[in-house]
Chain A
């Protein structure tokens, strides 16, 4: 369980905190999704968790222990984080890259044990990258690269997994593949915390949505509570409707064309059934 308690974090030299009193929990066995517009503070929460941005106040708790008080490697043994950006400068063999996920267990000195090898094998199998193991990281497509990064996080063998927009740049099949994997991990007992712009997908997979707006929690709850037009429209500041997608039985956001058309009464909004309550 990862719990953010009244977290306030400010970037150096910034006038205002990027997150201002955010509280929510990502329990084991579920996917918890943080959504919100660009600049609403989603990635800031991830940076605060891994200690790249010190908290001005509040706490991040991992299974009840203060993350800021843990040393980096013990935190990394309990929470595996796939950060938003990662641009490799020097290529590595895919298996060696995945094996770096064992760093929190091995440190700089200890040689790889049979446990390490097994954890890497499991991560490779679980993330379905067995066919990539003979390749180099500079020979991968965008989708393969994201899966290899997720495999490295799985090799950390941490009970909690945090992913910052893991499906950006992925096509539909790869995106669904990642979501199915995260769903399976959650069902297996992991706490999965996901930062995403894919509202319609997280509405189908996540147990809880945390909607951030200008650094605060604008809404928090099951997808049906958060995925409502009156909740989302003021946050995204764009005309939209939320329908119930009959095919999958989940709420789905449909952004409308422009304010003028939506406001004219003859725009796309008329063709939609309106908000899902």
Chain B
């Protein structure tokens, strides 16, 4: 067909090719995002109620120098920055995988019932007045229950791996969870309401090393599995029938990715509450940088998410110090300009 088709190209109403600037850009993206992560990480450790100079930060990281600086860095700020980075990375991985597998640029970790379920668990625990240490556990249990219910609803509807059915099942479970939360809060004492609201707005203020270890382990396992499955996500993102034609067991693959992405999201919830917008916006930033296959897109989303949440946490605790702003609100404020820029490119 070469001859015929080539001759006819002049009749072909192809949109004019865009300048191919994207080819060289991924390299700059990796360098830029890596540098941003390091700079923001150091800044996150240096800034705070007691500002530390760069040499002091570096010395304290090595366990040298002023003992109080070492204590601040090692027990407060380093775990906080690391937790922020891990939460951002996990949400970026989760969002990137879900957007691809569900073929939906609006998919994000919270769309699938995880947030609602986690919130019900946490608010329920707070309302029952259980020990604060058990709230994260209750949140995780709630998230897991919501995912199980959403999958069961999708299965009962006959959709199994159908992205639309999965999304709708998640939305239904989330709406139900919201209703439960509103009823619980309406009848709860003011302290509980305030605690629940704070939890729902997300924060890494209470970071400690055990949380860092737990989220790090989950992110490594869940995120690693998603990166291994990246090519399957590439194929799924073509659509149900093309994916099936290429030999992917569509329903099982979609469920697998949904579960892994939800596990990542649930892990962040137990450590930091509901940190919004990161999982939605971060994959779009990576795509805008010219990363399209998920083998590159997912690590890029992790890197960008980590940098974004560190930056947001830094702003949250310094802009109106000593008052801390809710992290989830700041991530949205920081992320919106990126999203708007992306929208402009799409339009």
Contacts and interface: CB of A to CB of B under 8 A. Distances in A.
A241 to B, nearest CB: 29
Interface in A51-105: 51-52, 71-77, 80-93, 96, 100-101, 103-104
Contact of A176 (B4, B9, B231, B287): B4
A177 B7 CA distance: 10
A177 B11 CA distance: 14
Residue of A84, A109, A143 with most chain B CB atoms under a 10 A cut-off? A143
Contact of A104 (B238, B246, B293): B246
Contact of A50 (B5, B11, B245): B245
Chain B interface size band reads 35 or more
A153 B215 CA distance: 41
B103 A173 contact: no
A147 B249 CA distance: 25
A206 B248 CA distance: 30
A139 interface: yes
A86 B2 contact: no
Contacts of B231: 100, 103, 106-109
A88 B237 CA distance: 7
B239 interface: yes
A50 B240 CA distance: 11
A194 to B, nearest CB: 14
A141 B310 CA distance: 42
A273 interface: no
Interface stretch (A127-135, A216-224, A227-235, A244-252): A127-135
A144 B244 CA distance: 23
Contacts of B18: 136, 139
Contacts of B245: 50, 76, 80-83
A240 to B, nearest CB: 29
A170 to B, nearest CB: 10
Given A92-B293, A108-B230, A83 B242 contact: yes
Interface string B1-23: 11011111101111101101000
B321 to A, nearest CB: 40
B189 interface: no
B247 A96 contact: no
A134 B5 contact: no
Nearest to A150: B1
Contact of A86 (B4, B99, B158, B239): B239
A177 B5 CA distance: 6
Contacts of B238: 86, 88, 100
A109 B231 CA distance: 8
Contacts of B11: 171, 173
Contacts of B20: 134
Nearest to B292: A92
A93 B292 contact: yes
B108 interface: no
Contacts of A109: 228, 231
A12 B246 contact: no
B232 interface: yes
A47 interface: yes
Given A103-B247, A177-B5, A141 B292 contact: no
A71 B247 CA distance: 7
B260 interface: no
A89 B5 contact: no
Interface in B296-322: none
Interface string A129-166: 00100111001110110010000000010000000000
Residue of B1, B18, B232 with most chain A CB atoms under a 10 A cut-off? B1
B241 interface: yes
B13 A141 contact: yes
B14 A141 contact: yes
A174 interface: yes
B104 interface: yes
Contacts of A72: 244, 246-249
A75 B104 CA distance: 28
Interface string B97-119: 00110011100000000000000
A131 B244 CA distance: 28
B100 A180 contact: no
B17 A96 contact: no
Contacts of A174: 5, 8, 12
10 contacts: A52-B240, A90-B100, A92-B292, A100-B231, A101-B246, A108-B229, A139-B17, A141-B12, A174-B8, A174-B12
Interface of B: 1-2, 4-9, 11-15, 17-18, 20, 99-100, 103-105, 158, 228-232, 234-235, 237-242, 244-250, 287, 292-293
In the complex, the 10 A-B pairs of residues with the closest C-beta atoms, listed nearest first: A173-B8, A76-B247, A73-B247, A177-B1, A72-B247, A128-B2, A81-B245, A177-B5, A181-B1, A141-B14
Given A139-B18, A177-B1, 15 more contacts: A50-B241, A52-B240, A52-B250, A71-B249, A74-B247, A76-B246, A83-B245, A84-B241, A86-B238, A103-B247, A104-B246, A108-B229, A136-B18, A174-B8, A177-B8
